[in-house]
Chain A
């Protein structure tokens, strides 16, 4: 027998109470892990998603630039346009690597919105080099051709080589390629050569945005200024977009953090209460132990080991709970925050698991220290005094 086995036996003596306390810790740790994991996954995925846009700056028509940029990322359509000439002017600015004009158009089919992107495929190949296609990409001088995203192909049961009646005039378009899954909004879109899109939707010379990649990211501010000298153009950098989205979800995150802090405080108070109660109940027992040779340190150690056992087991249980239920939790949180990037947000990162385990050990130390000191300071007399005549 050692202190560890004695502690386990003591905890098992009050099985119900021990289980409830462990559950309290488990819930606090599960909530903490879920939040940290979601938070880190969210920022990573969002920044990854923006990175995968392959774009540093969006030039949009003057109006409401952040909203416009967000809309463009998600395939929304804004009723204001730039012209091909604006794109040409942008291309001539020093330091710009690619300035690719794009036209976005939205139409409804059976009540479902569909997004069409008119693009220069040669530019896209540079902006999104990870794009892979089943079939082939179109060249910019082809007519009545399109490439579609993988989710769209799946939903509409389309494949490369199919012909699709498309546009207001239901002209037959050939699907020359289907994009392999990208995990971004691109999976939902129709991509057409820019001139074909402009012609099909009666928007000749109109573009919605200019997607710009710069040669040197440190030049973004300087280049943005030059872009804004083009009349009707407003500039949104991708970091601004990320900031806007993070602000949007900020209040939801604050709410989540408050819930977690409250959960942790409740759990900590519960643990301290349980331990103090247990120490009080066992005053005589501790007195007996001191009488048979235990020092104050021995008693304190025993109480601290019991606390640590509760919190560490609770911590591990909490981690298992939140990792195994992460898809449920993720679905729930995604439902209450205004925007969430695609892809898996909660992943069991070793660093976060370490933080949560350290947190449960910390809770154990904080909660155990008071009862441990209290029990170690008991004089044997105090404990056995209740037997006095």
Chain B
């Protein structure tokens, strides 16, 4: 059975202005990602990896080009529609975890529900805690956790709204290699359950654990 495209990017271009200087972060990037893919976006610093991830996550809009997410054309959408699109489709994982220090593991995982519960999302935090193997740590605060555990909390938080795609920006960047490997294994496990995963990393070894790789250099796919 042919897999459907969840992301279709056509000639994505992003230009920033810093004073009078123009920075071409992405130049005419086109690709598609199918449902259930596990894609690593790799490239050196300044190649446009994070810019691309932000465009895919509707956190930023392209200067030029088009992006279809789950069949919806995202360019030109208003902020309200983008919020809904993000809520319904995307889970984010950041390099710095961004956990709220006064919330427990469970509360951090449940945080997105605060913004989405009114839209009928159920509370499946127990299931998520099990999935990221943190049931025993549910009532701990972030400062009682190791780096790997904190990233697992962040992954749990990304999963709570049952997204179709997980976007992770250097999710192993702050972890030692053994822990990073474990996180990648967790991603592989999630991918096996049908989740589409897009990971930005500059670690080629870890990128090899993904099915597909998009190499970026100077804002272009190479």
Contact = CB atoms under 8 A, between A and B. Distances in A.
Interface of A: 1-3, 6, 9-10, 12-13, 284-285, 288-296, 298, 379-381, 384, 387-389
Contacts of A389: 45-50
Interface in B141-180: 157-158, 161, 169
A381 B79 CA distance: 12
B51 interface: yes
Contacts, number: 83
Nearest to B48: A389
Interface residues of B, number: 37
Contacts of A295: 79-80, 83, 115
15 contacts: A1-B114, A6-B114, A9-B102, A12-B102, A284-B96, A290-B59, A291-B57, A292-B157, A292-B158, A295-B79, A296-B79, A380-B54, A389-B45, A389-B46, A389-B47
Contacts of A288: 92, 94, 98
**Those 4 A-B pairs whose CB atoms lie nearest each other, nearest first:** A288-B98, A293-B87, A9-B102, A380-B59
A225 to B, nearest CB: 75
A243 to B, nearest CB: 58
B114 A387 contact: no
A145 to B, nearest CB: 78
Contacts of B100: 9-10, 285
A298 B115 CA distance: 7
B71 interface: no
Contacts of A293: 83, 86-87, 112, 115-116, 161
A294 B86 CA distance: 9
Nearest to B92: A291
A142 B112 CA distance: 91
A384 B161 CA distance: 21
B203 to A, nearest CB: 14
Interface stretch (B103-111, B128-136, B182-190): B103-111
Contacts of B30: none
A38 to B, nearest CB: 41
A2 to B, nearest CB: 7
B54 A384 contact: yes
A130 to B, nearest CB: 61
Contact of A294 (B101, B110, B115): B115
Given A12-B102, A291-B92, A294-B114, 11 more contacts: A1-B103, A1-B111, A284-B96, A284-B98, A289-B115, A290-B59, A291-B94, A292-B111, A293-B116, A295-B79, A387-B50
A119 B202 CA distance: 103
B41 to A, nearest CB: 12
